[in-house]
Amino acid sequence: MHLIWLELRNYRNYGHLDLEPGPRLNLFLGANGQGKTNLLESVAMLALSSSPRARRDAELVGPLAPEARIAAVVESGSRRAEIRISIVIDGERARRRIEVDGRPRRAVDLPGLFRVALFWPDDLNLVKSGPEHRRRLLNQMLVQVEAGYARALARYARVLEQRNSLLKQVWSGDQPPSALEVWDLELAKLGGEIAGARGRAVAALREGAAAAHGVISGGEVLELEYQGPPADLLSAVENSRREDLRRGSTSVGPHRDDILMRLGGRDARGFASQGQQRTAVVSVKLAEAELVASMTGERPVLLLDDVLSELDGDRRRALLESLGEPGQVVITSVEAEPFPAAVIGSSVVRCIEAGRVQACG
Ligand SMILES: Nc1ncnc2c1ncn2[C@@H]1O[C@H](COP(=O)(O)OP(=O)(O)O)[C@@H](O)[C@H]1O
Ligand SMILES: [Mg+2]
Protein backbone atom coordinates (compact mmCIF):
# COMPACT_ATOMS: atom_id res chain seq x y z
CA MET A 1 0.00 0.00 0.00
CA HIS A 2 1.49 3.31 -1.06
CA LEU A 3 0.58 6.93 -1.08
CA ILE A 4 2.02 8.06 -4.39
CA TRP A 5 0.86 11.63 -4.45
CA LEU A 6 -1.12 13.97 -2.21
CA GLU A 7 -2.74 17.29 -2.95
CA LEU A 8 -4.36 19.54 -0.35
CA ARG A 9 -6.34 22.67 -1.14
CA ASN A 10 -7.51 24.97 1.62
CA TYR A 11 -7.31 22.07 4.06
CA ARG A 12 -6.83 23.36 7.64
CA ASN A 13 -3.65 25.49 7.50
CA TYR A 14 -2.59 24.15 4.07
CA GLY A 15 -3.46 26.59 1.30
CA HIS A 16 -1.95 24.58 -1.47
CA LEU A 17 0.17 21.47 -1.07
CA ASP A 18 1.43 19.06 -3.71
CA LEU A 19 3.43 16.26 -2.21
CA GLU A 20 5.13 13.19 -3.57
CA PRO A 21 6.19 11.07 -0.58
CA GLY A 22 9.05 8.60 -0.76
CA PRO A 23 8.27 4.87 -0.92
CA ARG A 24 9.81 4.08 2.48
CA LEU A 25 10.56 6.30 5.46
CA ASN A 26 9.33 9.87 5.30
CA LEU A 27 10.24 12.26 8.06
CA PHE A 28 8.43 15.58 8.49
CA LEU A 29 9.96 18.04 10.92
CA GLY A 30 8.35 21.18 12.23
CA ALA A 31 7.73 23.31 15.29
CA ASN A 32 4.43 23.18 17.15
CA GLY A 33 1.36 24.32 15.24
CA GLN A 34 2.93 24.17 11.75
CA GLY A 35 0.75 21.40 10.28
CA LYS A 36 2.37 18.05 11.08
CA THR A 37 -0.73 16.49 12.58
CA ASN A 38 -2.95 18.12 9.94
CA LEU A 39 -0.92 16.42 7.23
CA LEU A 40 -1.29 12.95 8.79
CA GLU A 41 -4.96 13.59 9.42
CA SER A 42 -5.53 14.26 5.72
CA VAL A 43 -3.80 11.00 4.79
CA ALA A 44 -5.85 9.11 7.39
CA MET A 45 -9.04 10.53 5.87
CA LEU A 46 -8.21 8.81 2.59
CA ALA A 47 -8.35 5.50 4.45
CA LEU A 48 -11.16 6.13 6.92
CA SER A 49 -13.29 8.59 4.88
CA SER A 50 -13.71 10.82 7.93
CA SER A 51 -11.25 12.59 10.18
CA PRO A 52 -10.24 10.57 13.21
CA ARG A 53 -10.04 13.74 15.29
CA ALA A 54 -12.34 16.48 13.93
CA ARG A 55 -15.71 16.66 15.63
CA ARG A 56 -17.24 18.38 12.62
CA ASP A 57 -16.12 18.35 8.99
CA ALA A 58 -16.32 22.16 8.92
CA GLU A 59 -13.19 22.28 11.11
CA LEU A 60 -11.19 20.95 8.17
CA VAL A 61 -11.95 23.86 5.89
CA GLY A 62 -9.30 26.57 5.69
CA PRO A 63 -9.81 30.34 5.46
CA LEU A 64 -9.42 30.78 1.69
CA ALA A 65 -12.75 29.42 0.45
CA PRO A 66 -15.82 27.55 1.73
CA GLU A 67 -14.34 24.32 0.37
CA ALA A 68 -11.45 22.04 1.37
CA ARG A 69 -10.08 19.36 -0.91
CA ILE A 70 -7.88 16.33 -0.47
CA ALA A 71 -6.84 14.44 -3.57
CA ALA A 72 -4.46 11.53 -3.76
CA VAL A 73 -3.15 8.76 -5.92
CA VAL A 74 -2.79 5.55 -3.95
CA GLU A 75 -1.41 2.23 -5.00
CA SER A 76 -2.64 -1.10 -3.76
CA GLY A 77 -0.86 -4.12 -5.23
CA SER A 78 -0.31 -2.98 -8.77
CA ARG A 79 -3.57 -1.04 -8.95
CA ARG A 80 -3.61 2.72 -8.75
CA ALA A 81 -6.64 4.72 -7.75
CA GLU A 82 -7.34 8.39 -7.45
CA ILE A 83 -9.29 9.43 -4.37
CA ARG A 84 -10.85 12.86 -4.02
CA ILE A 85 -12.57 14.14 -0.91
CA SER A 86 -14.14 17.54 -0.87
CA ILE A 87 -15.79 19.28 2.04
CA VAL A 88 -18.07 22.14 1.18
CA ILE A 89 -19.55 24.47 3.75
CA ASP A 90 -23.19 24.93 2.96
CA GLY A 91 -24.86 27.27 5.44
CA GLU A 92 -24.72 25.64 8.86
CA ARG A 93 -23.64 22.27 7.53
CA ALA A 94 -20.62 20.86 5.77
CA ARG A 95 -21.15 18.40 2.94
CA ARG A 96 -18.51 15.78 2.22
CA ARG A 97 -18.18 14.36 -1.29
CA ILE A 98 -16.00 11.42 -2.17
CA GLU A 99 -14.91 10.27 -5.60
CA VAL A 100 -12.79 7.32 -6.64
CA ASP A 101 -11.41 7.46 -10.18
CA GLY A 102 -13.92 10.16 -10.99
CA ARG A 103 -16.96 8.27 -9.75
CA PRO A 104 -18.92 9.19 -6.59
CA ARG A 105 -18.50 6.83 -3.67
CA ARG A 106 -20.38 6.68 -0.36
CA ALA A 107 -18.38 7.31 2.77
CA VAL A 108 -19.06 3.81 4.14
CA ASP A 109 -17.72 2.30 0.92
CA LEU A 110 -14.37 4.09 0.82
CA PRO A 111 -12.41 2.23 3.56
CA GLY A 112 -10.45 -0.74 2.27
CA LEU A 113 -9.18 0.95 -0.88
CA PHE A 114 -6.27 2.58 0.95
CA ARG A 115 -5.19 1.45 4.42
CA VAL A 116 -3.26 3.12 7.22
CA ALA A 117 -2.24 2.32 10.75
CA LEU A 118 -2.19 5.60 12.60
CA PHE A 119 -0.56 6.59 15.85
CA TRP A 120 -1.00 10.06 17.18
CA PRO A 121 -0.86 11.67 20.57
CA ASP A 122 -4.66 11.52 20.98
CA ASP A 123 -4.18 7.77 21.05
CA LEU A 124 -2.56 8.05 24.46
CA ASN A 125 -6.16 8.15 25.66
CA LEU A 126 -6.23 4.49 24.71
CA VAL A 127 -4.75 3.46 28.01
CA LYS A 128 -6.05 6.01 30.48
CA SER A 129 -9.29 7.42 29.14
CA GLY A 130 -12.76 6.05 28.53
CA PRO A 131 -13.61 2.87 26.59
CA GLU A 132 -14.79 4.85 23.54
CA HIS A 133 -11.12 5.39 22.64
CA ARG A 134 -10.49 1.65 22.65
CA ARG A 135 -13.61 0.97 20.62
CA ARG A 136 -12.42 3.58 18.11
CA LEU A 137 -9.11 1.75 17.76
CA LEU A 138 -10.93 -1.43 16.79
CA ASN A 139 -13.34 0.39 14.51
CA GLN A 140 -10.57 2.21 12.64
CA MET A 141 -8.81 -1.04 11.98
CA LEU A 142 -11.87 -3.14 11.17
CA VAL A 143 -13.49 -0.74 8.69
CA GLN A 144 -10.33 -1.10 6.65
CA VAL A 145 -10.12 -4.88 6.62
CA GLU A 146 -13.61 -6.36 7.06
CA ALA A 147 -16.01 -5.81 4.20
CA GLY A 148 -19.34 -4.75 5.65
CA TYR A 149 -18.01 -3.63 9.04
CA ALA A 150 -18.42 0.10 8.37
CA ARG A 151 -21.96 -0.51 7.18
CA ALA A 152 -22.82 -2.71 10.19
CA LEU A 153 -21.44 -0.04 12.50
CA ALA A 154 -23.47 2.72 10.86
CA ARG A 155 -26.63 0.60 10.95
CA TYR A 156 -26.02 -0.36 14.56
CA ALA A 157 -25.77 3.32 15.52
CA ARG A 158 -29.12 3.99 13.85
CA VAL A 159 -30.79 0.97 15.48
CA LEU A 160 -29.47 2.04 18.87
CA GLU A 161 -30.85 5.52 18.40
CA GLN A 162 -34.25 4.14 17.32
CA ARG A 163 -34.42 1.74 20.23
CA ASN A 164 -33.44 4.42 22.72
CA SER A 165 -36.10 6.81 21.51
CA LEU A 166 -38.67 4.00 21.50
CA LEU A 167 -37.74 3.09 25.09
CA LYS A 168 -38.79 6.59 26.13
CA GLN A 169 -42.07 6.33 24.20
CA VAL A 170 -42.88 2.96 25.77
CA TRP A 171 -42.02 4.32 29.21
CA SER A 172 -44.41 7.25 28.72
CA GLY A 173 -47.14 4.93 27.41
CA ASP A 174 -47.11 6.25 23.83
CA GLN A 175 -46.05 2.89 22.40
CA PRO A 176 -46.71 -0.72 23.47
CA PRO A 177 -43.71 -2.72 24.78
CA SER A 178 -44.11 -5.15 21.86
CA ALA A 179 -42.87 -2.35 19.56
CA LEU A 180 -39.41 -2.99 20.95
CA GLU A 181 -39.19 -6.58 19.70
CA VAL A 182 -38.06 -5.81 16.16
CA TRP A 183 -35.38 -3.43 17.45
CA ASP A 184 -34.15 -5.97 20.01
CA LEU A 185 -33.66 -8.44 17.18
CA GLU A 186 -31.84 -5.98 14.93
CA LEU A 187 -29.65 -4.82 17.79
CA ALA A 188 -28.70 -8.38 18.65
CA LYS A 189 -27.99 -9.31 15.03
CA LEU A 190 -25.82 -6.30 14.16
CA GLY A 191 -24.29 -6.22 17.64
CA GLY A 192 -23.31 -9.86 17.29
CA GLU A 193 -21.57 -9.16 13.96
CA ILE A 194 -19.65 -6.23 15.40
CA ALA A 195 -18.68 -8.05 18.57
CA GLY A 196 -17.58 -11.10 16.59
CA ALA A 197 -15.27 -9.01 14.42
CA ARG A 198 -13.87 -7.17 17.43
CA GLY A 199 -13.28 -10.34 19.42
CA ARG A 200 -11.34 -11.87 16.53
CA ALA A 201 -9.37 -8.66 16.06
CA VAL A 202 -8.27 -8.44 19.70
CA ALA A 203 -7.37 -12.12 19.76
CA ALA A 204 -5.24 -11.56 16.67
CA LEU A 205 -3.66 -8.34 17.99
CA ARG A 206 -2.76 -9.76 21.38
CA GLU A 207 0.37 -11.62 20.43
CA GLY A 208 1.82 -8.95 18.14
CA ALA A 209 1.19 -6.18 20.65
CA ALA A 210 2.84 -8.19 23.44
CA ALA A 211 5.84 -8.94 21.23
CA ALA A 212 6.30 -5.30 20.15
CA HIS A 213 5.88 -4.02 23.68
CA GLY A 214 8.37 -6.57 24.99
CA VAL A 215 10.96 -5.50 22.42
CA ILE A 216 10.51 -1.74 22.79
CA SER A 217 10.39 -1.78 26.59
CA GLY A 218 13.07 -4.42 27.05
CA GLY A 219 10.83 -7.03 28.65
CA GLU A 220 7.60 -5.57 30.02
CA VAL A 221 4.56 -7.79 29.57
CA LEU A 222 1.52 -6.24 27.84
CA GLU A 223 -1.77 -8.15 27.72
CA LEU A 224 -4.97 -7.26 25.88
CA GLU A 225 -8.37 -8.73 26.57
CA TYR A 226 -11.59 -7.98 24.72
CA GLN A 227 -14.53 -7.24 26.96
CA GLY A 228 -17.52 -7.63 24.68
CA PRO A 229 -21.24 -8.15 25.15
CA PRO A 230 -22.68 -11.50 26.35
CA ALA A 231 -22.53 -14.28 23.76
CA ASP A 232 -26.33 -14.60 23.76
CA LEU A 233 -26.90 -10.95 23.01
CA LEU A 234 -30.62 -11.28 22.19
CA SER A 235 -31.44 -12.78 25.61
CA ALA A 236 -29.28 -10.18 27.31
CA VAL A 237 -31.08 -7.36 25.48
CA GLU A 238 -34.47 -8.84 26.34
CA ASN A 239 -33.50 -9.37 29.96
CA SER A 240 -32.32 -5.80 30.33
CA ARG A 241 -35.51 -4.29 28.96
CA ARG A 242 -36.98 -3.33 32.34
CA GLU A 243 -33.75 -1.60 33.33
CA ASP A 244 -33.44 0.01 29.88
CA LEU A 245 -36.96 1.41 30.09
CA ARG A 246 -36.14 3.01 33.41
CA ARG A 247 -32.87 4.51 32.09
CA GLY A 248 -34.25 5.42 28.70
CA SER A 249 -31.19 3.90 27.03
CA THR A 250 -29.80 0.55 25.97
CA SER A 251 -27.48 -1.00 28.53
CA VAL A 252 -26.06 -4.02 26.69
CA GLY A 253 -24.38 -4.26 23.31
CA PRO A 254 -21.08 -3.49 21.63
CA HIS A 255 -21.52 0.26 22.26
CA ARG A 256 -20.39 -0.64 25.79
CA ASP A 257 -17.35 -2.73 24.76
CA ASP A 258 -13.90 -2.26 26.17
CA ILE A 259 -10.40 -3.70 25.90
CA LEU A 260 -8.67 -4.45 29.16
CA MET A 261 -4.97 -3.57 28.97
CA ARG A 262 -2.66 -5.08 31.55
CA LEU A 263 0.98 -4.26 32.07
CA GLY A 264 2.97 -6.71 34.15
CA GLY A 265 -0.29 -8.32 35.24
CA ARG A 266 -1.87 -5.09 36.50
CA ASP A 267 -4.55 -2.90 34.94
CA ALA A 268 -2.50 -0.37 32.95
CA ARG A 269 -5.08 2.37 33.50
CA GLY A 270 -4.15 2.83 37.10
CA PHE A 271 -0.41 2.95 37.14
CA ALA A 272 1.35 2.99 33.74
CA SER A 273 3.75 5.94 33.32
CA GLN A 274 3.52 8.28 30.32
CA GLY A 275 6.37 6.47 28.61
CA GLN A 276 4.87 3.05 29.33
CA GLN A 277 1.48 4.16 28.01
CA ARG A 278 3.10 5.48 24.87
CA THR A 279 5.00 2.22 24.44
CA ALA A 280 1.80 0.20 24.89
CA VAL A 281 -0.14 2.28 22.38
CA VAL A 282 2.62 2.26 19.78
CA SER A 283 2.93 -1.51 20.25
CA VAL A 284 -0.77 -1.99 19.63
CA LYS A 285 -0.47 0.15 16.49
CA LEU A 286 2.52 -1.81 15.20
CA ALA A 287 0.59 -5.02 15.85
CA GLU A 288 -2.34 -3.52 13.98
CA ALA A 289 -0.12 -2.81 10.96
CA GLU A 290 1.17 -6.41 11.05
CA LEU A 291 -2.32 -7.83 11.38
CA VAL A 292 -3.70 -5.73 8.54
CA ALA A 293 -0.73 -6.84 6.43
CA SER A 294 -1.40 -10.51 7.17
CA MET A 295 -5.16 -10.18 6.58
CA THR A 296 -4.85 -8.29 3.30
CA GLY A 297 -1.44 -9.36 2.01
CA GLU A 298 -0.30 -5.74 1.99
CA ARG A 299 1.27 -3.48 4.60
CA PRO A 300 -0.79 -0.42 5.47
CA VAL A 301 0.94 2.95 5.40
CA LEU A 302 2.18 3.57 8.92
CA LEU A 303 1.48 7.11 10.16
CA LEU A 304 3.34 8.00 13.35
CA ASP A 305 2.73 11.47 14.73
CA ASP A 306 5.29 12.69 17.21
CA VAL A 307 5.90 9.13 18.28
CA LEU A 308 9.31 9.48 19.90
CA SER A 309 8.64 12.07 22.55
CA GLU A 310 8.47 10.77 26.11
CA LEU A 311 10.37 7.63 25.15
CA ASP A 312 13.83 7.10 26.58
CA GLY A 313 16.82 6.46 24.30
CA ASP A 314 16.57 2.67 24.48
CA ARG A 315 12.88 2.66 23.64
CA ARG A 316 13.43 5.09 20.75
CA ARG A 317 16.13 2.91 19.27
CA ALA A 318 14.10 -0.27 19.65
CA LEU A 319 11.02 1.36 18.13
CA LEU A 320 12.93 2.69 15.12
CA GLU A 321 14.55 -0.69 14.61
CA SER A 322 11.17 -2.42 14.61
CA LEU A 323 10.17 -0.20 11.67
CA GLY A 324 12.89 -1.88 9.63
CA GLU A 325 10.29 -3.90 7.71
CA PRO A 326 9.51 -2.86 4.15
CA GLY A 327 6.56 -0.53 3.81
CA GLN A 328 5.78 3.15 3.61
CA VAL A 329 6.08 5.04 6.88
CA VAL A 330 5.40 8.70 7.64
CA ILE A 331 6.83 10.04 10.89
CA THR A 332 6.56 13.56 12.25
CA SER A 333 8.75 15.12 14.88
CA VAL A 334 9.56 18.51 16.30
CA GLU A 335 13.27 17.85 15.90
CA ALA A 336 15.58 15.59 13.94
CA GLU A 337 17.75 15.09 17.01
CA PRO A 338 16.18 11.83 18.31
CA PHE A 339 16.67 10.04 14.98
CA PRO A 340 19.92 8.15 14.41
CA ALA A 341 21.97 9.25 11.40
CA ALA A 342 21.20 5.96 9.65
CA VAL A 343 17.46 6.63 9.86
CA ILE A 344 17.86 10.19 8.61
CA GLY A 345 20.10 8.91 5.82
CA SER A 346 17.51 6.42 4.60
CA SER A 347 14.53 8.80 4.87
CA VAL A 348 13.02 11.52 2.77
CA VAL A 349 13.29 14.43 5.21
CA ARG A 350 11.18 17.55 4.81
CA CYS A 351 10.33 20.53 6.97
CA ILE A 352 6.86 21.92 7.59
CA GLU A 353 6.39 25.59 8.28
CA ALA A 354 3.00 27.29 8.44
CA GLY A 355 1.34 24.77 6.17
CA ARG A 356 4.17 24.64 3.63
CA VAL A 357 6.38 21.63 3.06
CA GLN A 358 9.90 22.27 1.87
CA ALA A 359 13.44 21.01 1.98
CA CYS A 360 14.98 21.55 5.41
CA GLY A 361 17.79 24.02 5.64
N1 LIG B 1 -9.60 24.96 9.51
C2 LIG B 1 -8.41 25.53 9.73
N3 LIG B 1 -8.03 26.60 9.02
C4 LIG B 1 -6.83 27.19 9.21
N5 LIG B 1 -5.94 26.77 10.10
C6 LIG B 1 -6.26 25.69 10.84
C7 LIG B 1 -7.51 25.01 10.70
N8 LIG B 1 -7.54 23.98 11.57
C9 LIG B 1 -6.36 24.03 12.22
N10 LIG B 1 -5.60 25.03 11.79
C11 LIG B 1 -4.26 25.43 12.27
O12 LIG B 1 -3.38 24.34 12.14
C13 LIG B 1 -2.37 24.48 13.11
C14 LIG B 1 -2.17 23.19 13.87
O15 LIG B 1 -1.64 22.28 13.03
P16 LIG B 1 -1.14 20.89 13.57
O17 LIG B 1 -1.00 20.04 12.38
O18 LIG B 1 -2.02 20.39 14.67
O19 LIG B 1 0.26 21.32 14.18
P20 LIG B 1 1.50 20.44 14.60
O21 LIG B 1 2.56 20.74 13.61
O22 LIG B 1 1.85 20.92 15.97
O23 LIG B 1 1.07 19.01 14.58
C24 LIG B 1 -2.79 25.53 14.09
O25 LIG B 1 -2.01 26.67 13.87
C26 LIG B 1 -4.23 25.76 13.74
O27 LIG B 1 -4.63 27.06 13.98
MG1 LIG C 1 0.79 17.77 16.14
Indicate which residue's Cα is closest to atom 24 of ligand 1.
33
Residues 199-212 have a mean pLDDT of: 96
Task: Examine the pLDDT at 324 and tell me if it is beyond 70.
Answer: no
CA distance 179 to 96: 35
For the chain, what is the mean pLDDT?
94
**Over pLDDT 90: what percentage of the chain?**
84
Q: What is the DSSP string of 67-99?
A: EEEEEEEEEETTEEEEEEEEEEEETTEEEEEEE
- Ligand 1 nearest atom to the CA of residue 305, by list position: 23
Q: What's the predicted TM-score (pTM) here? A: 0.92
Model pLDDT for residues 106-125, shown as the tens digit of each residue? 999 999 999 999 998 888 88
Indicate whether 181 pLDDT > 70. yes
Model pLDDT, residue 310: 79
Q: Quick one: which ligand is closest to 35's CA? A: 1
Question: What's the CA-to-centroid distance between 352 and ligand 2, angstroms?
Answer: 11
DSSP string, 110-153: STTSS-EEEE-GGGGHHHHS-HHHHHHHHHHHHHHHSTTHHHHH
Confidence band of 326 (pLDDT split at 50, 70, 90): confident
Ligand 1 centroid to residue 53 C-alpha, Å: 12
Q: At residue 98, does pLDDT exceed 80?
A: yes
The ligand 1 atom nearest the CA atom of 306: 23
CA angle 313, 314, 317 (to 5 degrees): 85
* Pairing mode, strands 103-104 and 93-100: antiparallel
Of 18-22, 195-199, 339-343, 351-355, the one with minimum mean pLDDT is 339-343
CA distances from 30 to 43, 149, 333, 348 (A): 18, 36, 7, 14
Distance 269 CA to ligand 2 centre (A): 24
Domains of the chain: 1-27+35-115+335-361 (3.40.50.300), 117-297 (1.20.1050.90)
Write the pLDDT tens digit of every residue in 214-263. Answer: 999 999 999 999 999 999 999 999 999 999 999 999 999 999 999 999 99
* Residue whose CA is at the smallest distance from ligand 1 atom 14: 33
Ligand 1 centroid vs 38 CA: distance in angstroms? 6
Per-residue confidence at 35, pLDDT binned at 50, 70, 90?
very high
For residue 221, the tally of other CB atoms under 10 A from its CB is 12
Find the mean pLDDT for residues 11-35: 97
Whole-number Å distance, alpha carbon 338 to ligand 1 midpoint, is 24
Which ligand is located closest to the Cα atom of residue 352? 1
Torsion angles phi and psi, residue 175, rounded to 5: -135, 150
Sheet holding 258-263, edge to edge: 222-227, 258-263, 266-267
| Per-residue pLDDT at 361 exceeds 90 | no
> Of the residues 8, 14, 34, which should be mutated to test ligand 1's pocket, given the most ligand atoms within 8 Å of the CB?
34
Tally the C-alpha atoms within 13 A of residue 354's C-alpha that lie toward its C-beta. Answer: 0
In sequence order, the 6+-apart residues with CB closer than 8 A to the CB of 271 are 263
- Ligand 1 lining (C-beta closer than 6 Å): 12-13, 30, 32-38, 59, 61-63
Averaged over 58-81, what is the pLDDT?
A: 96
Structure confidence by residue, pLDDT tens digits, 270-307: 889 988 998 999 999 999 999 999 999 999 999 999 98
